[in-house]
Chains A and B, each alone.
Chain A
Amino acid sequence: MVEATIKREIESPALNSGAFSVGDRRRITLKSAEEINCAMELYADMVRRICFVHLKNRYDTEDVFQNVYMKYMLYEGTFESREHERAWFARVTINACTDWLRNFSRRKWVPLEILDEEKETLDDTSAEILETVLKLPEKYRNVIYLYYYEGYSAVEIAGILGRKENTIYTWLARAKDLLRKNLGGEWV
């Protein structure tokens, strides 16, 4: 059971700027290199995919990707389980992407751009499906990804996104309708 009480991570100026202040240095307890390497192996693909469904290109992806792992390195809490840690990564990555897109200049999101960057790894069907997913509103993209790829339940997604379960159910239903409409009834 994923911990449903994961709170939204508070953005640290040090993280945004990519630098530590003297005060930060005194407070923080860093994750060890071993922990970071382990987290890289376990969650890098998930972080990358969440970035993929949110961000415009690989440059943005790399920035957010690094910020997520920076937050992990500085995170002082403890994880009760791998699932808890995985949910933490999902939540932090979604928030990082959302914050990244708050910058107005980055709002000009072009899904085809990031698809073009991945075209060598995608066949036509996959490219078509992902293009359709990427055209969904942001909130639907999140639930579709967490539900269909990560396999989280609506309750778990509610915990990760900090929304009511009913809201997640509604979003899931609407997202499925949009996908069905665009991809046809046999897509799932």
Chain B
Amino acid sequence: MNQIRESLENIQASEELKQNTLQYLYKQQPGRRKPRVRFASAYAMVTACLFLLVGIGGYFVYRKPVSYISVDVNPSIELHINRFGRVVSTEAYNDDGRDVIEQVPLKNISYMQAIDKLLKDESYSKYLHEDSMLVFTVISDRPDEIVEELNDSELLQSYGALTYTSDSSCMHEAHQHEMSFGKYRTYLELLEYDEDVTIEDCHRMTMGELRDRIETCSHEGQTDDRKENHHGHNGNSHGNGHKCDD
């Protein structure tokens, strides 16, 4: 054995080097890497799907109305409100109402802001005169909360607005007659005093005229307890409005 060989005999691969290399090779094997890649991809996909579902779900939750406010003078407008208290859609049930919502954007703001904006807009405020009657009718799973907020509004108080509550079956019937559920509730109230009144008559009447008619009929010997469902700024009692037929 020559001296070079003897010298080089001392140079050996350490166990650490061997083990590090074996571990490196083990990690580099496609079979070992593949599950990690697959898992990472699957994880990314699940996360993306989750975000997508949350996004879609959130969108539908946002878009879904859970409360409704019918605002009637002569223009009859319904505000459809989501669970966050935002107006997600509007619907007009007569020509005056259609003219107004074409001119006043009310979506994606809180319902109190929408009402404030509506009442202050010139296209709507022109209907608010001395003989008119501003009526708010609420359908919601938390009607008292909304009614209380409406009653606390100084702007609504200044117009002597009346507030009522109604229910979804009443709204369904109202829409079948192409009428806002607020005006339809008033029609049903009038119907109790005047059996001859028709839905067509109501279509042609403003809320002020309907209220006058009710007042007139009620003073003509009808019972006075019909106002017990009414709770507005004028101090009348309130209730759930008039029940609709099933």
A residues with a Cβ closer than 8 A to B are 18-20, 24-25, 28, 30, 33, 36-37, 40, 44-45, 47-49, 52, 61-62, 65-66, 69-70, 73, 118, 121-122, 125-127, 129-130, 133, 144-145, 148-149, 179, 187-188
Contacts and interface: CB of A to CB of B under 8 A. Distances in A.
Contact of B11 (A24, A30, A121): A121
B5 A70 contact: no
B31 to A, nearest CB: 8
B29 interface: yes
Interface residues of B, number: 25
Interface in B10-46: 10-13, 17-18, 20-22, 24-26, 28-31, 33-34
A48 B12 contact: yes
Contact of B25 (A36, A48, A52, A188): A36
Contacts of B4: 129, 133, 144, 148-149, 179, 187-188
13 contacts: A18-B28, A30-B31, A40-B21, A45-B12, A48-B13, A49-B12, A73-B29, A127-B7, A144-B4, A148-B4, A149-B5, A149-B8, A188-B3
A127 B6 CA distance: 11
A66 B24 contact: yes
A100 to B, nearest CB: 16
A25 B33 CA distance: 10
Nearest to B7: A126
A149 B17 CA distance: 21
Nearest to A131: B7
B13 A44 contact: yes
Given A40-B18, A66-B20, A118 B10 contact: yes
B7 A70 contact: no
Contacts of A149: 4-5, 8
B13 A45 contact: yes
A66 B21 CA distance: 5
A52 B11 contact: yes
A130 to B, nearest CB: 5
B2 interface: yes
A118 B22 contact: no
Contact of A69 (B6, B8, B25, B33): B25
A85 B181 CA distance: 91
Question: Nearest 6 CB-CB pairs, A to B?
Answer: A44-B13, A126-B7, A48-B13, A148-B4, A25-B30, A129-B7
A48 B11 contact: yes
A185 to B, nearest CB: 12
B30 A145 contact: no
A45 B12 CA distance: 5
Nearest to A19: B28
A84 to B, nearest CB: 21
Contacts of B33: 20
Contacts of B13: 44-45, 47-48, 65
Given A45-B11, A66-B24, A148-B2, 15 more contacts: A19-B28, A30-B30, A37-B22, A47-B13, A48-B17, A52-B8, A70-B25, A73-B25, A73-B28, A121-B12, A122-B7, A126-B7, A130-B7, A133-B4, A188-B4
Contacts of B30: 20, 24-25, 28, 30
A24 B12 CA distance: 32
Contacts of A127: 7
A45 B18 CA distance: 10
B6 A30 contact: no
A116 B47 CA distance: 52
A126 B6 contact: yes
Given A37-B22, A45-B13, A148 B5 contact: yes
Contacts of A20: 28, 30, 33
Interface in B32-84: 33-34
